Amino acid sequence: MSTFPVSISTLTAQRRHLLLVSEDESTISRFRAMVVQSDFHIGVISDDFPFLTNISALENIVLGCMYHKAMSLQSCRKNIQGLVDALGLNENLDQQAQFMSRPMLLKMHLLRCMAMESTFIFLPMISRSDCDILHRAAETLDRDVFLWATCLSNDQDVYTSLEFPIIDLNSTP
Protein backbone atom coordinates (compact mmCIF):
# COMPACT_ATOMS: atom_id res chain seq x y z
CA MET A 1 0.00 0.00 0.00
CA SER A 2 1.40 3.37 -0.95
CA THR A 3 1.67 6.20 1.53
CA PHE A 4 -0.70 9.13 1.47
CA PRO A 5 0.39 12.57 0.34
CA VAL A 6 -1.49 13.95 3.37
CA SER A 7 -0.59 12.72 6.84
CA ILE A 8 -2.91 12.57 9.83
CA SER A 9 -0.40 14.54 11.91
CA THR A 10 -0.48 17.34 9.31
CA LEU A 11 -4.26 17.47 9.57
CA THR A 12 -4.38 17.35 13.37
CA ALA A 13 -1.81 20.16 13.54
CA GLN A 14 -4.29 22.45 11.77
CA ARG A 15 -6.78 22.16 14.66
CA ARG A 16 -9.76 23.21 12.56
CA HIS A 17 -12.71 21.83 10.66
CA LEU A 18 -11.66 20.48 7.26
CA LEU A 19 -13.25 19.31 4.04
CA LEU A 20 -11.21 16.41 2.68
CA VAL A 21 -11.82 15.74 -1.00
CA SER A 22 -10.75 13.10 -3.47
CA GLU A 23 -11.52 12.27 -7.07
CA ASP A 24 -12.37 8.68 -6.14
CA GLU A 25 -14.00 6.76 -3.31
CA SER A 26 -11.10 4.30 -3.02
CA THR A 27 -8.79 7.07 -1.81
CA ILE A 28 -11.33 8.12 0.83
CA SER A 29 -11.72 4.48 1.84
CA ARG A 30 -7.94 4.05 2.21
CA PHE A 31 -7.72 7.28 4.21
CA ARG A 32 -10.55 6.09 6.41
CA ALA A 33 -8.67 2.86 7.14
CA MET A 34 -5.63 4.95 8.05
CA VAL A 35 -7.74 7.08 10.44
CA VAL A 36 -9.30 4.05 12.14
CA GLN A 37 -5.88 2.43 12.65
CA SER A 38 -4.11 5.58 13.80
CA ASP A 39 -2.99 6.37 17.34
CA PHE A 40 -4.56 9.84 17.24
CA HIS A 41 -7.91 8.85 18.86
CA ILE A 42 -9.93 10.23 15.99
CA GLY A 43 -13.64 9.62 16.34
CA VAL A 44 -15.60 8.32 13.37
CA ILE A 45 -19.26 9.00 12.73
CA SER A 46 -20.57 6.73 10.03
CA ASP A 47 -23.47 4.38 9.46
CA ASP A 48 -20.78 1.68 9.28
CA PHE A 49 -20.31 2.08 13.06
CA PRO A 50 -23.92 1.88 14.30
CA PHE A 51 -25.23 1.81 17.82
CA LEU A 52 -26.15 -1.58 19.20
CA THR A 53 -29.91 -1.94 19.09
CA ASN A 54 -30.38 -3.89 22.31
CA ILE A 55 -28.92 -1.27 24.68
CA SER A 56 -29.74 2.35 25.48
CA ALA A 57 -28.14 5.39 23.88
CA LEU A 58 -26.21 6.08 27.10
CA GLU A 59 -24.81 2.55 27.17
CA ASN A 60 -23.81 2.87 23.49
CA ILE A 61 -22.16 6.23 24.14
CA VAL A 62 -20.06 5.11 27.10
CA LEU A 63 -19.38 1.51 26.09
CA GLY A 64 -15.91 2.31 24.76
CA CYS A 65 -15.10 4.43 27.79
CA MET A 66 -16.19 1.65 30.13
CA TYR A 67 -14.22 -0.98 28.25
CA HIS A 68 -10.99 0.91 27.50
CA LYS A 69 -10.77 2.84 30.76
CA ALA A 70 -12.35 0.27 33.10
CA MET A 71 -14.84 2.86 34.35
CA SER A 72 -18.37 2.35 35.59
CA LEU A 73 -21.41 3.52 33.65
CA GLN A 74 -22.01 6.21 36.30
CA SER A 75 -18.41 7.50 36.12
CA CYS A 76 -18.52 7.70 32.34
CA ARG A 77 -21.88 9.46 32.47
CA LYS A 78 -20.48 11.98 34.96
CA ASN A 79 -17.59 12.69 32.57
CA ILE A 80 -19.92 13.54 29.68
CA GLN A 81 -22.74 15.22 31.62
CA GLY A 82 -21.70 18.73 30.58
CA LEU A 83 -21.76 17.67 26.93
CA VAL A 84 -25.14 15.99 27.39
CA ASP A 85 -26.49 19.23 28.90
CA ALA A 86 -25.00 21.38 26.12
CA LEU A 87 -26.59 19.19 23.43
CA GLY A 88 -29.91 18.98 25.28
CA LEU A 89 -29.95 15.18 25.33
CA ASN A 90 -30.76 14.37 28.97
CA GLU A 91 -34.27 13.17 28.16
CA ASN A 92 -33.09 10.86 25.36
CA LEU A 93 -30.30 8.83 26.92
CA ASP A 94 -32.60 5.93 27.82
CA GLN A 95 -33.88 5.55 24.25
CA GLN A 96 -32.66 2.92 21.84
CA ALA A 97 -31.16 4.00 18.53
CA GLN A 98 -33.95 2.65 16.34
CA PHE A 99 -36.43 5.03 18.01
CA MET A 100 -34.39 8.23 17.49
CA SER A 101 -34.64 10.85 14.79
CA ARG A 102 -31.63 11.24 12.51
CA PRO A 103 -30.50 14.54 14.13
CA MET A 104 -30.78 13.00 17.61
CA LEU A 105 -28.84 9.92 16.54
CA LEU A 106 -26.06 12.03 15.04
CA LYS A 107 -25.71 14.02 18.27
CA MET A 108 -25.52 10.74 20.19
CA HIS A 109 -22.75 9.55 17.88
CA LEU A 110 -20.92 12.81 18.51
CA LEU A 111 -21.27 12.18 22.24
CA ARG A 112 -19.81 8.69 21.78
CA CYS A 113 -16.74 10.22 20.13
CA MET A 114 -16.48 12.82 22.88
CA ALA A 115 -16.77 10.15 25.60
CA MET A 116 -13.60 8.66 24.13
CA GLU A 117 -11.98 12.12 24.30
CA SER A 118 -11.75 12.53 20.53
CA THR A 119 -10.92 16.05 19.45
CA PHE A 120 -11.07 15.18 15.75
CA ILE A 121 -14.15 13.58 14.24
CA PHE A 122 -13.90 11.92 10.83
CA LEU A 123 -17.09 12.02 8.76
CA PRO A 124 -16.59 9.75 5.73
CA MET A 125 -18.80 10.59 2.75
CA ILE A 126 -21.28 12.42 4.96
CA SER A 127 -24.35 14.09 3.50
CA ARG A 128 -24.46 17.86 3.67
CA SER A 129 -27.54 17.81 5.93
CA ASP A 130 -25.84 15.42 8.39
CA CYS A 131 -22.71 17.57 8.30
CA ASP A 132 -24.79 20.66 9.12
CA ILE A 133 -26.38 18.92 12.10
CA LEU A 134 -23.01 17.83 13.47
CA HIS A 135 -21.40 21.20 12.79
CA ARG A 136 -24.11 23.03 14.73
CA ALA A 137 -23.86 20.49 17.56
CA ALA A 138 -20.06 20.75 17.73
CA GLU A 139 -20.28 24.54 17.88
CA THR A 140 -22.46 24.36 21.02
CA LEU A 141 -19.82 22.44 22.98
CA ASP A 142 -17.38 24.16 25.33
CA ARG A 143 -14.37 22.21 24.08
CA ASP A 144 -12.46 21.91 20.85
CA VAL A 145 -14.07 19.53 18.38
CA PHE A 146 -12.88 19.53 14.79
CA LEU A 147 -14.90 17.86 12.05
CA TRP A 148 -13.21 16.30 9.03
CA ALA A 149 -15.93 15.90 6.40
CA THR A 150 -15.06 13.96 3.26
CA CYS A 151 -16.60 14.02 -0.18
CA LEU A 152 -15.77 13.43 -3.80
CA SER A 153 -14.14 16.36 -5.61
CA ASN A 154 -17.09 16.76 -7.95
CA ASP A 155 -19.41 17.19 -4.91
CA GLN A 156 -17.35 19.70 -2.96
CA ASP A 157 -19.41 22.70 -4.12
CA VAL A 158 -22.26 21.42 -1.95
CA TYR A 159 -20.04 21.95 1.12
CA THR A 160 -18.38 25.29 0.29
CA SER A 161 -20.77 27.40 2.35
CA LEU A 162 -19.43 25.62 5.46
CA GLU A 163 -16.21 27.54 4.78
CA PHE A 164 -14.05 24.58 5.87
CA PRO A 165 -10.57 24.69 4.33
CA ILE A 166 -10.37 22.15 1.53
CA ILE A 167 -7.64 19.51 1.52
CA ASP A 168 -7.20 17.29 -1.55
CA LEU A 169 -6.30 13.81 -0.32
CA ASN A 170 -4.50 13.13 -3.61
CA SER A 171 -2.21 16.17 -3.50
CA THR A 172 0.85 16.97 -1.48
CA PRO A 173 0.16 20.04 0.69
Sign for the pseudo-dihedral over CA of 12, 155, 36, 139: positive
Looking at the structure, do residues 158 and 170 belong to the same domain, yes or no? yes
Please list, in sequence order, all residues whose beta carbon lies within 8 angstroms of the beta carbon of residue 103, skipping any fewer than 6 positions away: 133
Looking at the structure, do residues 111 and 62 belong to the same domain, yes or no? yes
Q: By residue range, what is the domain housing residue 91? A: 51-117
Looking at the structure, do residues 72 and 19 belong to the same domain, yes or no? no
Spatial separation of the C-alpha atoms in residues 71 and 73, rounded to whole Å? 7
Please list, in sequence order, all residues whose beta carbon lies within 8 angstroms of the beta carbon of residue 149, skipping any fewer than 6 positions away: 17, 18, 19, 20, 123, 126, 131, 159, 162, 164
pTM for the structure as a whole = 0.92
Spatial separation of the C-alpha atoms in residues 143 and 136, rounded to whole Å? 14
Query: What is the residue-level pLDDT of the chain in tens, covering all 173 positions?
Result: 446 778 899 999 999 999 999 999 999 999 999 999 888 889 999 999 999 999 999 999 999 888 888 889 899 999 999 999 999 999 999 999 899 999 999 999 999 999 999 999 999 999 999 999 999 999 999 889 999 999 999 999 999 899 999 999 988 65
CA angle, corner 164, sides to 167 and 105, nearest 5? 110
Looking at the structure, do residues 163 and 134 belong to the same domain, yes or no? yes
CB 115 within 8 A of CB 131: no
Looking at the structure, do residues 132 and 160 belong to the same domain, yes or no? yes
Looking at the structure, do residues 5 and 90 belong to the same domain, yes or no? no
